[in-house]
Amino acid sequence: MVPFFSARDVEAAVSPEQAYEAVRDGFIAYARGEWAMQPKLYVANYPAGDFRAMPALGGGHALLKWVTSFPGNPALGLPTVTGLVVLSNAETGMVEALLDAGAVTALRTGAAAALAAETLG
């Protein structure tokens, strides 16, 4: 069975400091050509919203971040943005884990902002 890591699981497992280190290392690995990222793919479902696919490959893994953005959802009591990260083994293609994309994105965004401020600041 493929493990699922909820937002709570992700937040408990990864501190902001660990996220900062991982994002920094990720930027360096990408700059060295050790990771490949295809352009973000949008699947429009207007006027309701859209779906977004963000693939990456490196470090022995393939990842896909699948995110939806539906601005009218709050009126239905639902979040505007939802998503999932699929982590697969790059050698076998086997799915190894599913993660809540919101928690992963929040950690990555905060870490990237802190890194940018430190680097440019």
- The whole-model pTM stands at 0.90
Q: What angle do CA 6, 19, 23 make, to 5 degrees?
A: 120
Q: What is the pLDDT along the chain (121 residues), one digit of tens a residue?
A: 999 999 999 999 999 999 999 999 999 999 999 999 999 999 999 999 999 999 999 999 999 999 999 999 999 999 999 999 999 999 999 999 999 999 999 999 999 999 999 999 8
**pLDDT at position 121:** 83
40 is catalytic: no
Cis bond before residue 47 (omega within 30° of 0): yes
Tell me the domains of the chain and their CATH numbers: 4-120 (3.30.1780.10)
Q: Which of 65, 83, 85, 107 is catalytic?
A: 65
